[in-house]
Amino acid sequence: MKNKHLLTAGNAPPESAISLIQQNTNQINIKRLNYFFFWMLIIEPFIILFFDIEGLLQQNSHEKWIHLSYFVLHLALWLISLGWTLMRKTIKNKYGAINSFVPVVTSFVLVLLSLINSLDQINGNGITVYIAYILMAGVALLMPFPTNLIVLIPSYGIFVMGMLIFQTDPFAKFSSLTNGSIFFLAVVVISSYLYKYYYDNILHTVELKLANEKLNYISTHDGLTGLYNRLEFEHQLSTLHQQSTNKIALLLLDIDFFKQINDQYGHLVGDQVLIHIAQIIENAVSDDFIVSRWGGEEFLVAGPVTSLKQALNLAEMIRDQIANDSYPSEQGNITITVSMGVSLITGDCIKNFDHYFKQADDALYLAKKNGRNRVEQSVL
């Protein structure tokens, strides 16, 4: 209920467009990696069982090391898939710690797949595995340049080494290296373009969202202190009245001799004093209270209480905190006092708001008449 965003000099938006884009990008990448590793968990055991283990059981010792290598690589892929699945369930901050693993894990998985592609060259197979997976990684994962290049280049290096070492056909070697290199560069370009396309679109959406939030904030908050304005106070009071079963205290506060502060120290210091008082009031009341700048040097506070005595005690605490504090200006500390009027809303605060506000206003007038720096209650 209580407003959490008091304005200070140079206050930035609560969340920048860049951070929102990064968060959305991370969400998408993590979700897509989750799908990938889910299917790897299912598919890899079948590959190990029906291809790798079957190959290990063959009598041809010349090819046994090949099948053993396949077995180790596919097992590593399955273990990484299992580890990722378990890790994402245990790490609570999925947009924090797990994000740093995305490019690392992606790069490592592509290296393993490139090693499998290298082994395929012994049997004269093509480069389908390598092309399929770098294309999948480049298109599915949103990575800006040069992050995509850093992620893809280790697997490309393994691909080149594998072709040079294991491919014995000169024509196939040249053809595969040429095609693989073209695909590698194409994937880097496509990946960079897709990220930029996504970035530009989401940036526009985020900027609209932030602009709407800013407009909404401006329409509901005081531009100086960041407290609720009159219109939003009445809206929040209506919500509080519907949700609370207790009585509602209404505290009207006015800064004593505020004109003298403006005249002596200047209006800029006067503005900082208003912000200072707003922060003291916000910190003094609980989150279910509504705090607003009612106008000029007046503040209006409302919140659930059990009795008028509790409301008066709260008002006295706020008054005492302000009186025992001071605002440190360049011209010296400024002692500030306030006068407060308190009323208790016991009926329909929406229909009879003017009545209860007048009670608090009359009590405030009485507090000023009796010497200021004091709390007075309404005469029921």
Q: Which are the catalytic amino acids?
A: 297
Q: At what angle are helices 17-47 and 170-220 packed, to 10 degrees?
A: 140
Structure-token pair, residue 37: 């590793």
Q: What angle do CA 251, 253, 254 make, to 5 degrees?
A: 160
Q: Which helix (H) or strand (E) holds 344?
A: strand 338-345
Which among 95, 85, 92 is positioned nearest to 25, based on CA atoms? 95
- Alpha carbon distance 163, 247 (integer Å): 80
Residues 282, 4: Cα–Cα separation, whole Å: 9
112 contacts: CB under 8 Å, gap ≥ 6: 73, 76, 77, 80
Amino acid 380 reads: L
- Say how many C-beta atoms besides its own lie within 10 A of residue 269's C-beta: 17
Asked if residues 17 and 201 have their Cβ atoms less than 8 Å apart, the reply is: no
Contact 163, 118 (CB under 8 A): yes
The helix (H) or strand (E) run that includes residue 293 is strand 290-295
Q: Are 110 and 154 a contacting pair, CB within 8 Å?
A: yes
Q: In Å, how far from its chain's centre is CA 169?
A: 54
Q: How far apart are CA 107 and CA 184, in angstroms?
A: 14
Quote the DSSP letter at residue 99.
G
- Residue 257: strand, helix, or coil: coil
Contact call for residues 71 and 48 (beta carbons, < 8 A): yes
